[in-house]
Amino acid sequence: NAGVMQNPRHLVRRRGQEARLRCSPMKGHSHVYWYRQLPEEGLKFMVYLQKENIIDESGMPKERFSAEFPKEGPSILRIQQVVRGDSAAYFCASSPGTGRNTEAFFGQGTRLTVV
Amino acid sequence: RKEVEQDPGPFNVPEGATVAFNCTYSNSASQSFFWYRQDCRKEPKLLMSVYSSGNEDGRFTAQLNRASQYISLLIRDSKLSDSATYLCVVTLRGDTGRRALTFGSGTRLQVQP
């Protein structure tokens, strides 16, 4: 059972370009979370999705950022018109459900560098 | 007030020492509690769940105090390999169902030889 897969592992974009980050959850997991970690800082929640639904996007910046988790295929975090401040590690986690003490498992992250 | 608060550290301790981390959470409706570990530039990994009755896994002991809204992690006989950032994690069930895991900023531990 493969773990949570994120790609690419490293992504370099020029200011103004678009960044697409992909996350394939663990087999059998239907819940996906995206987190951002700036250098030397803690993890910040961005968005929580189930298949075809956004459950909680309270941590998403209002502009330029969007996320989806289609019926088929990976979850995508999309950042339009990237700026230097978007440079960070973006982690995806998945879990099988919402039961008590259901932990989430993380992918290895995508490190975005905006130049 | 932050939803989950931790002392950022760093905690510098010698090998063999016992070290304790505390974490406080603001929402009394919080339901599930975990400690995760994050090594430098790696993804967080689950260390242990935290149960109301307290639980132990080898050198690690986790406690939950619902009345005071804090959880703790005790590490006995510290090893060099315990050097990492320890993240306190809380979830709660909101009106729309389960909310995502909420992370504290983490406490850095550096075990010295």
Out of A33-37, A102-106, B45-49, B64-68, least confident range:
A102-106
Instruction: Give the mutation candidate from A21, A31, A43, A92 for the B interface (greatest B CB count, under 10 A).
Output: A43
Contact A101 B51 (CB under 8 A): yes
Using one digit for the tens of pLDDT, what is the confidence trace for A19-69? 999 999 999 888 999 999 998 788 888 999 998 899 888 889 999 999 999
Out of A41, A55, A109, closest to residue B97 by CB: A55
Contact A106 B96 (CB under 8 A): no
Q: pLDDT higher for B104 or A40?
A: B104
Out of A41, A93, A98, closest to residue B98 by CB: A98
Q: How confident is the model at residue B113 (pLDDT cuts 50, 70, 90)?
A: very high
Out of B42, B46, B102, closest to residue A45 by CB: B102
Q: How confident is the model at residue A99 (pLDDT cuts 50, 70, 90)?
A: low
For residue A107, give the chain B residue with the closest CA: B43
Q: What is the pLDDT of residue B13?
A: 96
- CA A114 – CA B64 distance, rounded (Å): 41
Q: Chain B within 8 Å of A90 (Cβ-Cβ)? A: no
Strands (E), chain B: 4-6, 11-14, 19-25, 30-38, 45-49, 55-57, 60-65, 70-75, 84-94, 97-98, 102-103, 107-112
Q: How confident is the model at residue A96 (pLDDT cuts 50, 70, 90)?
A: confident
Q: How confident is the model at residue B98 (pLDDT cuts 50, 70, 90)?
A: low
Using one digit for the tens of pLDDT, what is the confidence trace for B21-35? 999 998 887 778 999
